[in-house]
Amino acid sequence: MYPNTNLQPGQSGPEVKKLQDFLVSKGLMTPEQVATGPGIYGPKTTAAVKKFQEQSGVDNTTGPGYWGPRTISAASGAGASRGAGDSGSQPYSDEEYNAALNEHPIIKESIAKGNTAEALSYAASTGDFSGLVNQFGQPFSLEDQQAALKQAEEDNKLYFDALKAKETADTEASLAQKQADFQNFLLTSGEKFAEDKTAADQTAANRGVLFSGGRVQKEKNLQKSYEADQAYKQASLGRDISSTARDYQYKYGNDAAKGLSQYYKLGANTYNPNVATGGVGSSGLSSIYKPSQYDFQGTQNVAQKTAAQQRAAGLLWNKGNKLLATGYNNQY
Q: What is the pLDDT of residues 30-48, one digit of tens each?
A: 999 999 889 899 999 999 9
pLDDT of 127: 55
Q: Which of 135-139, 140-144, 153-157 has the highest mean pLDDT?
A: 153-157
pLDDT of 96: 61
Query: Residue 192 above 80 pLDDT?
Result: yes
What's the rounded mean pLDDT across residues 126-147? 62
pLDDT of 226: 96
pLDDT of 216: 83
Query: Residue 253 above 60 pLDDT?
Result: yes
| Largest CA-CA distance found in the chain, in angstroms, rounded | 132
pLDDT of 120: 64
pLDDT in tens, 69-98: 889 888 887 544 433 333 333 445 556 656
Higher local confidence (pLDDT), 78 or 203: 203
What's the rounded mean pLDDT across residues 156-181? 95
pLDDT of 137: 45
Q: What is the DSSP string of 274-328?
A: SSSS--EEE---EES--GGG-----HHHHHHHHHHHHHHHHHHHHHHHHHHHTT-
Query: Residue 281 above 70 pLDDT?
Result: yes
Q: Which residues of 262-292 are buried (b: 16+ CB within 10 A; e: fewer)?
A: ebbebebbebebeeeeebbeeeeeeebbebe
Give the Cα separation of 45 and 16 in Å (integer).
9
Domain ranges within the chain, ordered by starting residue: 14-137, 144-305
Instruction: Give the range among 17-26, 109-118, 274-283 with minimum mean pLDDT.
Output: 109-118
Q: What is the DSSP string of 254-278?
A: HHHHHTTGGGGEE--EEE--SSSS-
Higher local confidence (pLDDT), 230 or 109: 230
286-287 and 280-282 as β-strands: parallel, antiparallel, unpaired?
unpaired
Categorize the per-residue pLDDT at 295 as very low, low, confident or very high, splitting at 50, 70 and 90. very high
pLDDT in tens, 104-125: 666 666 666 666 666 666 666 5
CA 22 to chain centre: 41
Give the Cα separation of 158 and 224 in Å (integer).
54
Cα dist from 183 to 53, 83, 175, 263, 267, whole Å? 81, 93, 12, 13, 8
The three-state secondary structure class of 67 is: strand
Instruction: Give the range among 71-75, 150-154, 179-183 with minimum mean pLDDT.
Output: 71-75
Average pLDDT of the chain, as a whole number:
82
pLDDT of 90: 45
What's the rounded mean pLDDT across residues 256-285? 92
In this structure, are residues 49 and 20 in contact, taking their beta carbons and an 8 Å threshold?
A: no
